Structure 1
Amino acid sequence: LIVLSHNHADHYYGVSGALRKREIGQIWSNGNISREELSNYEVLKVGAGDIARIDDVSLEVLWPPAAASNFSNLAGDGSQENNRSLVILAQVGQVKILITGDIEPEAQEEIAKRYDLSGISILKVPHHGSRFQSELFLRQISPEISIISVGESNSYGHPDSSLVEKLRDMGSRVYRSDQDGPISLSWRFDEGAMGYIFTTRNVGRKWWHIQWL
């Protein structure tokens, strides 16, 4: 499964490389992406309420709803297309991960109002750690792990330093691809839920442990 969150180049460029020499079952999108290299694959438009299960992983699409296109353009680096990003709640055992695309505060707050976001362990921080974030959204999740996907020395100044500080003040461990390199996750469930975070730039294995009461 490949998920293309929305129709911005930094979220679909490179998909041809990801397709190479791999067996792909489906490609999910918000319905706004049309690429020649996808013509030989099953591309499904998904939205809020769609659910799938792949082996031990469940995937629930939380966003966008049918009316997401009615959101206004936002200040700064916001856009309607950002707010059409697919937002997916992934669950592996008892570990919950929220993957957020580039949603802006307006969409973040709608999600916080519609869903119970407590118990999410890992947050893929929206929009590369932009300064435009909903306090309600972040406080509801209060993630143990925050992952920021961001290019090194990018012209936008992402991630925002005050956001990184806020996440750390909330007790979240922050990993960012511009400093840590590519980030991957794996779990063991033989004793509670043991998770490992692998990075390519920082040598060694960093681990975290969740005790379920």
Structure 2
Amino acid sequence: MKEHLIKRKVNKLDLVVASHADADHIGGLSMVLRSFNVRAVLDNGYPKNSYYYKDFLSAIKEKNIRYILARRGDNLKIGTLAFKILNPPEGYISSSNSPDNDNSIVLKLGYKNTSFLFTGDAGFEAEDQLVKRQDLQSTVLKVAHHGSASSTSNEFLKYVRPTVGVISVGKTNTYGHPKPIVLNRLTNARAKIYRTDISSSIKMVVTEKGLQVYD
């Protein structure tokens, strides 16, 4: 991640979002926080007794970075970007069999005439709560949990109605992600699918004319 940002000549980050404390989501963030000028970090605050999460919190403290606790219903604005936090709720989702994942930060970002829905590793339990309470329709869906079969239900897609689905997944992952059933759900929802195991870098540009995707 650090090398990618340097290649892009990025030296300042207005906001870093740590969706949840799993190592595959925050494992490289401590290095980013210590290497770049980061103004704020958004965290779900769901505790995890792991080296990566402790080091992540230490880096925030060392660099005196603003720490924002994500809670459903809160709104953030950075310049012309508007963020709405959809998950986790106050008190977290306690009924889940996978609370680390279902308490992932879910964010909706609006810019010009385009919207993005970022879902972390949120599973069916979180999705069920989201469809009951939120305006989910988005141009781009960051598909949850690397395309796991336990996320991205047909019901959820009915509410999101994405034009584009982006799956962040490793080429050699041992889980078989993305699962064929999820790819079928996205195809049936008429979403154009982009995958990082096929296109390692996916660039999106929003203009007055709409969204352009480069892979």
CA distance in 1, matches of 2:212, 2:32: 24
Name the counterpart of 2:190: 171
CA distance in 1, matches of 2:173, 2:73: 35
CA distance in 2, matches of 1:71, 1:100: 19
Name the counterpart of 1:208: none
In the alignment, structure 1 residue 65 sits paired with structure 2 residue 83:
no
Cα RMSD between the aligned structures? 1.5
CA distance in 2, matches of 1:12, 1:131: 22
In the alignment, structure 1 residue 45 sits paired with structure 2 residue 69:
yes
**Structure 2 counterpart SS, 1:168:** helix
In the alignment, structure 1 residue 123 sits paired with structure 2 residue 145:
no
Unaligned runs of 5+ in 2: 1-14, 47-52
In the alignment, structure 1 residue 99 sits paired with structure 2 residue 121:
no
Give the aligned residue type for 2:94: N
CA distance in 1, matches of 2:213, 2:34: 26
Give the aligned residue type for 2:82: S
Contact 1:2 1:28 in 2 (8 A): yes
The alpha carbon displacement at 1:165 in A equals 2.1
The sequence identity of aligned pairs, in percent, is 32
After TM superposition, the score normalised by the length of structure 2 is 0.83
Q: Deviations over 1:161-210 (max 9, x none)?
A: 12112211221100010111122211111xxx3222122xxxxxxxxxxx
After TM superposition, the score normalised by the length of structure 1 is 0.84
Give the aligned residue type for 1:4: A
Matches within 5 A, 1:1-213: 1-32=15-46, 33-34=53-54, 35=56, 36-39=58-61, 40=63, 41-73=65-97, 79-118=98-137, 120-133=138-151, 134-189=153-208, 193-199=209-215
CA distance in 2, matches of 1:196, 1:17: 30
Give the aligned residue type for 1:197: V
Count, aligned residues: 190
The alpha carbon displacement at 1:21 in A equals 4.3
More moved, 160-169 vs 142-151:
160-169
CA distance in 2, matches of 1:37, 1:67: 26
Contact 2:196 2:202 in 1 (8 A): yes
Contact 2:42 2:68 in 1 (8 A): yes
Contact 1:71 1:83 in 2 (8 A): no
Compare relative contact order (CA 8 Å, sep 6+) and give the higher one, 1 or 2. 2
CA distance in 2, matches of 1:3, 1:168: 28
Give the aligned residue type for 2:143: V
CA distance in 1, matches of 2:214, 2:81: 19
Unaligned runs of 5+ in 1: 74-78, 200-213
Q: Deviations over 1:119-158 (max 9, x none)?
A: x110001111101132211111121000001111201111
**Structure 1 counterpart SS, 2:205:** strand
